[in-house]
Every structure is written in structure tokens, then in C-alpha cells.
Amino acid sequence: MAAIIQIVVLGLALGGVYALMGSGLSLIFGVMRIVNLAHPALIMSGAYVAYWGFRLWGLDPFVMLPVAMVILAATGVLLYKLVFEREAKSARYSEMTVLLTFAVAMVLEGALATAFTNTQRVTSPGYATDAFFIGSVFIPKGQLYAGITSLVIIGLLALFLKFSRFGYAIRATTQNREAAELLGVNVNLVGLVSFAIGVALAGAAGSLVSFVFSFFPSKHWEWIAVLMSLVVLGGMGSILGTVVAAYLLSVVAAFVGFFFGATWSTLTFYLALFVVLLVRPQGLFGEKPELA
């Protein structure tokens, strides 16, 4: 029984980190219809902010987290203005954003490699490799703290979306961009702010990732498939769905890894992606696409 509890604990611990990693991606798709393949590279950028804060000044990644969010939010504004805004009215906007964000990911990877080399990095605060032990069951402190922080940030985002005036505008734009615009919502500003928030979430996720996983500039390619599977399972654009999917898939992957071997645990995410697209393309919480 302890073994089963342990697997669930490890799955939930990893799920908390994935939830924040995927939620920014989901927000940006929900509002902007941008399939942001650069999201993991932006997470990587946040990880470097936390790493250098820790390395140079001994600042804890949790202290660097707001710093990373601000820096990444500014990066998001810049990216939106330079890359996405002028294409926003294109009929093939979503398709174009796949290529655009792919290019952004390549540029970011090159910039990070030039600035910080391809050496792997990891932030090492004491809790990152420590654990609470309850009997024979352990709870990894680093992932626990990261998971709690993820939930707090996602909770604050949910409150902002649900109760603030601007949150209404974002949700309205997510549901129907044209109708929101007709009702006086400044959809361009909503797009800009949503993109900046989504990228800021990448910064926050990066700070947490910096002590959970080791990372180097090209590592982001390994994350995109996992994050896409979370967003697709949760329902494209549904942050709640992404969070549920992150916990669900991480726990399932932990069980698969324990009983069938580590080789198969990663397959869980890809398998989920295939099955969801075949059986329920709208995901757990997404809206069923209307037939033309």
C-alpha cells in the first residue's frame, strides 16, 4: 500500500510543475489561438533568470520568480508587437503562428546558447534534493513547493479572469473574438495582455523548473510534446483542463513507470495525445468544434 501511495505522491508532485508549465500555453491558445511552440523555450529563459540569480547573488528561485515573470512579461510584449500583432487579422493566423513560434523557439535557443553556452544547468537550493518522510513514504520538497506555488499562481490567475473587468474581457475574447470586439472590447489590447501574462507564466514555471530538472538551451524540444499533450487532453484553451490533465497524466505516467518500466512512462503522454485526438478531440474541458 505504501508503494501505491508513494507512486501517487510522486505523480502529483510532478503534475504540479507540469500544470504551471502548461497553463501559460493554454491561456495563450485560448485567447489568441496561437499554438505557442516557443513556450518551452520561454520557460527555459525563466529558468536561466532563476539560475543566474541563485548563482550570482544566492537568491532563492522563489525570490527570483517574480523577477522572471516581469522579465518574461516584457519579453512577451516585445514578441507580440514584433511578431504576432501584424498577422492577427490574417485568415490563416493559427497556422501561421505555428511557424512563427517555431522560428521564435529557434531564435531563443540560439540566443540562450550564445549567452549561456550549451552546458546543462540546475539551481541547487537545499530543498531541491530533500524530502519529507512519513513512514516509508517520501514527499520531495522541491516538487512539493513547486506544486503548491503553481496552484497559488494558477488560482490567482483564475480569480483575475473570473472577477476583474479585464478578466471578463479576456474570457469574452476567448469565447468569441468577433462578438467581444462588437461589444467594445479592445481585443488587440486583450491579446497583448493575455500573451504577456502567458509568457509571464512561462517565466514563473521556469523559476520552478530550474531546481526540479536540469536544463540547457535545446532541452525545450523535449518539453513541447509533453506540454501539448496536457493542453490537448485538458481541452485547447482551458486552463482548468490543463491543470487536471497535468495531474492525471503525471500520476498515470508514474504508475506506468513503476509497473512497466521508465521506458513506457514517457509514452503515456504521447499515447494520451493520440487517444484524445481520436476519441475526444475537444479534450476534457474544451468545447466541441462546430461543424461548418
Q: For residue 43, which phi and psi values (nearest 5 degrees)?
A: -60, -45
- Is 257 a binding residue for other proteins by CB under 8 A? The answer is yes
- Concatenating the DSSP letter of every residue in the chain gives -HHHHHHHHHHHHHHHHHHHHHHHHHHHHHHH----TTHHHHHHHHHHHHHHHHHHH---HHHHHHHHHHHHHHHHHHHIIIIIGGGTT-TTHHHHHHHHHHHHHHHHHHHHHHHH-S--B----GGGG-EEEETTEEEEHHHHHHHHHHHHHHHHHHHHHHHSHHHHHHHHHHH-HHHHHHTT--HHHHHHHHHHHHHHHHHHHHHHHHHHS-B-GGGHHHHHHHHHHHHHHH-TT-HHHHHHHHHHHHHHHHHHHHHH-HHHHHHHHHHHHHHHHHH-TTTTTSPPPPP-
- Is 222 a binding residue for other proteins by CB under 8 A? The answer is yes
Q: Which stretch binds other proteins (CB under 8 A): 45-53, 174-182, 216-224, 282-290?
A: 216-224
Nearer to other proteins, 207 or 265 (CB): 265
* Closest distance to other proteins from the beta carbon of 263 (Å): 5
- Is 282 a binding residue for other proteins by CB under 8 A? The answer is no
Binding string, residues 142-181; x marks residues near other proteins by CB under 8 A: xx--------------------------------------
- The C-alpha atoms of residue 211 and residue 135 are separated, in whole angstroms, by 25
Environment class of residue 44 by beta-carbon count within 10 Å: exposed (0-12), middle (13-18) or buried (19+)?
buried
Q: Which stretch binds other proteins (CB under 8 A): 92-100, 180-188, 258-266, 277-285?
A: 258-266
* Closest distance to other proteins from the beta carbon of 254 (Å): 5
Q: Which stretch binds other proteins (CB under 8 A): 44-52, 71-79, 209-217, 237-245?
A: 209-217
Binding string, residues 108-147; x marks residues near other proteins by CB under 8 A: -x---x---xxxxxx-x---xxxx-x----x-x-xx----
- Is 262 a binding residue for other proteins by CB under 8 A? The answer is yes
Nearer to other proteins, 185 or 254 (CB): 254
Binding string, residues 10-49; x marks residues near other proteins by CB under 8 A: xx-xx-----------------------------------
- Is 8 a binding residue for other proteins by CB under 8 A? The answer is no
Among 214, 252, 271, 280, binds other proteins (CB under 8 A): 214
User: What is the distance, to the nearest Å, from the Cα of residue 87 to the centroid of all Cα atoms in its chain?
Assistant: 24
- Is 58 a binding residue for other proteins by CB under 8 A? The answer is no
- The C-alpha atoms of residue 205 and residue 157 are separated, in whole angstroms, by 14
- Is 267 a binding residue for other proteins by CB under 8 A? The answer is yes
Residues that bind other proteins (CB under 8 A): 3, 6-7, 10-11, 13-14, 109, 113, 117-122, 124, 128-131, 133, 138, 140, 142-143, 213-214, 216-218, 221-223, 225-226, 253-254, 257-258, 261-263, 265-267, 269
